Structure 1
Amino acid sequence: MSDEANDLTTDSEPEYISRDEARQYALAGDIAHLQGLGSHLTSRYAAAARAARIHRTDLAYLRRILTTTPGRDSVELLLRLLGEQEAAGGSMGLELPLMATMLAQHQSPAVLARTVFTDIPEGDRLRELRTCLFHELLLRGVDPDEFPALRPGWLPPLDWLPDRRRALETEPDFTRHSVNGSASGVKTGLPTHGRLDPPTPRPTGKSPLLNSVTVDEHNLIVTAAERNWGYAAAWVFRADRPIIPAQVPALLPTLPMDCVADLGPDGRYEIAARPVGDIWSLLFATASMGRSGRYGAWGRLQAWRSLAGLCGLPFHTSAAEVEREAEQYTWFHFQTDSEFFHQDGDDYGIAALSPDGLRLAVLAATDTD
């Protein structure tokens, strides 16, 4: 804990001013008295704000100690403190999604089933924690049928998510946490298998296809990268005649997209065909581990939303429909050295070709603003 906290006096009652007296000073023209009063209050406010920051930091550290110390006693005390802190000061920066991912990493499912998911009080203040933890455990391979107690009260919009880990949710990566900090790394590099890099120099002609993305489509496609990455953009092209998958690698650099606008015939352009599970994993890593990552549960939701947008499905589509459609699409992962991507190794593009070949959607994400 902060040594500074020991010097703070927190048990005394706050000092209030008499508003009537302050008004009388003003009416009497006693500005000097009001100035002294204002300086006194400003000083006390600054001290209180400083004390609040110190206490908030110390409480956050205590929560990290409890989440990373295995055992039922640690989890029960954490729940008690979280409830007290939420009741005392609202959210108080409790970081419930972070607490959920740390619990999933450091505590056994059996302990969590006997503590977090049992004896849930009426008017539960920690509903987000329980819901997030449920999805964190699912993504880590925990079978909820083996732990019947893992059944939180659902929290919109997380209640949209499947209550089972789906086949396309392959190999999710998670942030790693200790009592002193966190580490993460999004794997955006292309694999060696499935490569479809066209030969250089590439043709410099431009495709007649035009971007027809709507505002709703764009916003849904970029969900996984929105506010979690640096910048993301989306395009949708609708063709009169079917595009076959073999045409996509050569077609992408010719499309009117900022992410390839200055590529030229010899610029680095690498592309690979990927299974939909790899695309979901990339979207999940972007959403859950970016610089403003949302961790497992919210990252899972954002990955599914982006997948739906890339498949041309509306926001209200069920997860089952998104899964069926996504498995029919052909998926590509590409990287270039265009200015849009700032030549950063963490930048990437995704292209999704519809089963009928008449719709091609593209997401380009860079971790540079």
Structure 2
Amino acid sequence: MNDEANHLMTGSGSEPAYISRDEALQHAMAGDIAPLRELGSNLASRYAAAARAARIHGDDLSYLRRLLATTPGRDSVALLLKLLGDQEAAGGSMALELRLMATILAQHQSAADLDRTIFADAPEDHWLSELRRCLFHELLLRGVDPDAFPALRPGSGTHPLAWLPDRRRALETEPDFTRHSVNGSSSGVKSGLPERGRLDPPTPRPTGASPLRNSVTVDEHDLIVTAAEDNWGYAEAWVFRADRPITPAQVPALLPTLPMECVSDLGAAHRFEIAARPVGDIWSLLFATASMGGLYNSGQYGAWGRLQAWRSLAGLCGLPFHASADEVERLAEQYTWFHFRADSAFFHQDGDDYGIAALSPDGLRLAVLAATDTD
């Protein structure tokens, strides 16, 4: 133990005094508790003051980082990177901060200014490499041509984001991003059903239960809920396998009868809304859930939100974790997709909760994701 760690600060003046831990031990062994009482009181006061100061300094640094990130220009970006480097050197947590900085930079800085920032010398495990990876996908989703800015293109490697396509795919339509300013952020997942493609079954609906049973595996469940897990309040997944093909026309009436928590208390006349939607709309909903988060979480932002949306899409299509993006896209285009909401206890009426159903091309597999932004 070093000499500094072997001493305890005492005294309440601007110039603190110190006693050794051995001296404190001797007081305790002698039953002389009074000095320890004063020592404890002083230490607790100083600890509280230091914690308050740390929070204030942290808030000030956070404001300064956002100010620099939202101020266009290469000089602002360069200074921001220096501050992030200082934070990393001081042992601060960087992971979510880098994802946030990437999405703010992508919103407020030109790709040309970001491209001229030096990333090339950063090793794969350096925080600059993580920032570059996040920036690449943030800009890609915003329509930036990656070939025009080669300095921003990350290497392949084994990083989780390296799984993602290096081009924006056709199904990645209309990604909705959190909006950031120097004073904060605003977002909202648009989970309401469109009028287009509505297939609401007539009421009263039959109250009989479907003979189909949930057969989701642990791996399937975990993959399907990826976009919502830890980003929203709660999510569940179900997979039903049929002996005879289910037709898309049967799905709207079938869903309320399935043994799922999200419709378990749904009465024959309770609201059940459903719409057929293209896969691009489903991807956008999953992306918004993962990237924006909800009431309890700020989400994963653009790059990691993109990865989680693809993972959930893969799970809904019945593909394993190691499937490629090409495989996911190819099969997702063949599935029939539905978006539904209902007046059940699972679906709270705050405008954010939703259900997704995915019917396989052969009609023998029906997967469901239900997500609520409450717990």
Same fold (TM over 0.5): yes
Answering whether residue 264 of structure 2 is matched by residue 261 of structure 1, we say yes
CA contact (8 A) 1:86 1:94 kept: no
For residues 234-245 of structure 1, the aligned pairs below 5 Å read 234-245=237-248
Counterpart residue type for residue 194 of structure 1? G
Q: Which of 277, 282, 286 is the aligned partner of 1:279?
A: 282
**1:74-97 Cα deviation digits (max 9, x unpaired):** 000000111011101332687111
Answering whether residue 184 of structure 2 is matched by residue 178 of structure 1, we say no
Q: Could you tell me the percent identity over the aligned residues?
A: 83
Counterpart residue type for residue 353 of structure 1? L
| 2:132 corresponding residue in structure 1 | 130
**Offset of residue 119 of structure 1:** 5.0
CA contact (8 A) 1:117 1:151 kept: no
For residues 1-369 of structure 1, the aligned pairs below 5 Å read 17-91=19-93, 95-115=97-117, 117-118=119-120, 120=122, 124-153=126-155, 156-291=159-294, 292=297, 293-369=299-375
**Offset of residue 259 of structure 1:** 1.2
**Offset of residue 217 of structure 1:** 1.2
Counterpart residue type for residue 47 of structure 2? Y
Q: Secondary structure of the equivalent of 2:371?
A: strand
Query: Which deviates further from its counterpart, 326-335 or 112-121?
Result: 112-121
**1:107-150 Cα deviation digits (max 9, x unpaired):** 00000000154554786333322211111011101111111111
**Offset of residue 162 of structure 1:** 1.4
Counterpart residue type for residue 285 of structure 1? A
CA distance in 2, matches of 1:38, 1:316: 55
**How many residues of Structure 1 are paired with residues of Structure 2 in the alignment?**
358
CA distance in 1, matches of 2:371, 2:217: 18
Counterpart residue type for residue 242 of structure 1? P
- Structure 1 unaligned runs (5+)? 1-11
Counterpart residue type for residue 49 of structure 2? A
CA distance in 2, matches of 1:38, 1:45: 10
Q: Normalising by structure 2, what TM-score?
A: 0.91
- Structure 2 unaligned runs (5+)? 1-13
Runs of 4+ in 1 over 4 A off after TM superposition: 12-17
Query: Which deviates further from its counterpart, 311-320 or 97-106?
Result: 311-320
**1:324-346 Cα deviation digits (max 9, x unpaired):** 11111111111111111023321
Q: Normalising by structure 1, what TM-score?
A: 0.92
Q: 1:250 to 1:13 in 2, by over 3 A?
A: farther
